[in-house]
Chain A
Amino acid sequence: DGGITQSPKYLFRKEGQNVTLSCEQNLNHDAMYWYRQDPGQGLRLIYYSQIVNDFQKGDIAEGYSVSREKKESFPLTVTSAQKNPTAFYLCASRKSTGKEGYTFGSGTRLTVV
């Protein structure tokens, strides 16, 4: 079955370290997205990509970086410049056309220790 996989499910990071969250999809979707979810704040867009080798900053891109070298993969790096990285991170993908909504991964919960 096609789907979108995020790993790891839980991640602990020491202050000052960079960490990379994985997101892989086999749905043949063109567009991929990274969201951050904090309690009471809903989902906020970090980065998004419509095609390979192209991505755009979302509303809260500072302290994050992404790459889109393959259609299936859209990893997110949380850098030491991100001041408050503890959050639930969701990756999503979508076909470029049609009425289909996002397909979300199961999420990665990042905690800074």
Chain B
Amino acid sequence: GQNIDQPTEMTATEGAIVQINCTYQTSGFNGLFWYQQHAGEAPTFLSYNVLDGLEEKGRFSSFLSRSKGYSYLLLKELQMKDSASYLCAVFLSGGYQKVTFGTGTKLQVIP
């Protein structure tokens, strides 16, 4: 089976930095996605990591360690609009392209 773990909820202060962790145990691995989802809306793509290391994109960075089955999403200079759920998703290897999602981390940014 596939198992992806993330913290259920986190709270952070506006202007601060927050790190959202994701650990996974899956049968096969092609890459790892991070998505942002505001309440009642569709998820939007943030990042995709295939190789180990850190990828930076503006205020958002994503890290992957394949040997540890571990990733994190780093959000800097937090803004109130960053309050949302953040979904970790693994792109599984195999003949058919299949992505399995974690349950998401609900981030609340407070003033």
Contact = CB atoms under 8 A, between A and B. Distances in A.
Size band of the A side of the interface? 20 to 34
Given A42-B103, A99-B50, A48 B42 contact: no
B101 A94 contact: no
A17 interface: no
Contacts of B33: 101-102
A48 B100 CA distance: 12
Contacts, number: 54
B101 A42 contact: yes
Contacts of A40: 8, 103
Interface centre among B31, B35, B41, B97 (most CB of A within 10 A): B97
A58 B100 CA distance: 10
Interface in B65-111: 87, 89, 96-104
A18 to B, nearest CB: 24
A106 B42 contact: yes
B35 A106 contact: no
A42 B42 contact: no
A75 interface: no
A103 B96 contact: no
Interface of A: 31, 33, 35, 40-45, 48, 50, 56, 58-59, 90, 94, 96, 99-107
The 9 closest A-B pairs by CB, nearest first: A101-B45, A104-B42, A42-B103, A43-B101, A42-B101, A99-B48, A101-B33, A106-B42, A104-B43
